[in-house]
Amino acid sequence: MVAVRLWGSLGEAAGATEVEVQASNLRELLLGLEENYPVLRSELERGISVSIDGKIYNDSWATPIAPDSEVVLLTRLVGG
């Protein structure tokens, strides 16, 4: 299981600052979150970024995640 840290207001909505998901890559992580945590669905639909061990990923499903990885959900980033 991977511990996934939620950002402040998302944690408020989920009632927890962390949730656990069975995942070995980004794709599995996103699917697991969507399936198990309906409260996250609106944010997932709007798009999110994910920090894995301090690096920020937007899209790449194949990005590996180790069981002890630090995984933090982020709101989707845009630039200028």
Partner 1 sequence: MAKDEYQAREFKVIGTRPIRPDGIDKVTGKAQYGADMSAPGMLWGAIKRSPHAHARIVSIDTSAASAMKGVKAVITRADFTHQPEDKANADVLDNCMAGERALYDGHAVAAVAATSKSIAAAALDAIKVDYEVLPHVTDVDDAVKPGAPIIHEGRQRENVPEGHNGNVISRTAFGHGDPEEGFKKADLIIERNFTTAATHQGYIEPNACLASLGADGQGEIWVCTQGHYMVRNVSAAVLGLDAGKIRATASEIGGGFGGKTHVWQEPVALKLSQEAGKPVKLVLNRDEVFRATGPTASSSADIKIGMTKDGKITAATCTYRLQSGAYPADNAMLAAMCGFAPYDLEHVRTEGLEVVTNRPKAAAYRAPGAPMGAFPVESVIDELCQKLDLDPLDTRLQNASREGTRAVYGPTYPAIGLEATLEAAKAHPHWTAPLGDNQGRGVACGFWFNFGGDTSVSLMVNLDGTVSLAEGNPDIGGSRAAMTMMAAEELGIPLDQVRTFIADTASLGQNENTHGSRVTYAVGLATIKAARHAIEVMKQRAAMKWGIDADAIEWKDGAAHPAGDNAGKFPPMSIKEIAAISSNTGGPIAGHHEANPEGAGVSFATHMVDTETDPETGAVKVLRYTVFQDAGKAIHPDYVEGQFQGGAAQGIGWALNEEYVYGEDGRLQNPGFLDYRIPVASDLPMIEPVILEIPNPGHPYGVRGVGETSIVPPLAAIANAVSRSSDVRLTALPMSPPKVLAAMKAK
3-state secondary structure of 71: strand
**53-72 footprint of partner 1 as x/- string (CB under 8 A):** xxxxxxxx--xx-x--xx-x
DSSP bridge pairs for 57: 50
- The smaller minimum CB distance to partner 1, of residues 19 and 52, is found at 52
DSSP letter assigned to residue 24 = S
- The smaller minimum CB distance to partner 1, of residues 29 and 72, is found at 72
CA distance linking residue 52 with residue 71, whole number of Å = 5
- The smaller minimum CB distance to partner 1, of residues 5 and 31, is found at 5
CA distance linking residue 78 with residue 22, whole number of Å = 28
DSSP bridge pairs for 68: none
- Based on the shown chain and the rule CB under 8 A, indicate whether residue 78 belongs to the binding site for partner 1: yes
Residues within the interface to partner 1 (CB under 8 A): 5, 7-10, 12-13, 42-43, 51-60, 63-64, 66, 69-70, 72-80
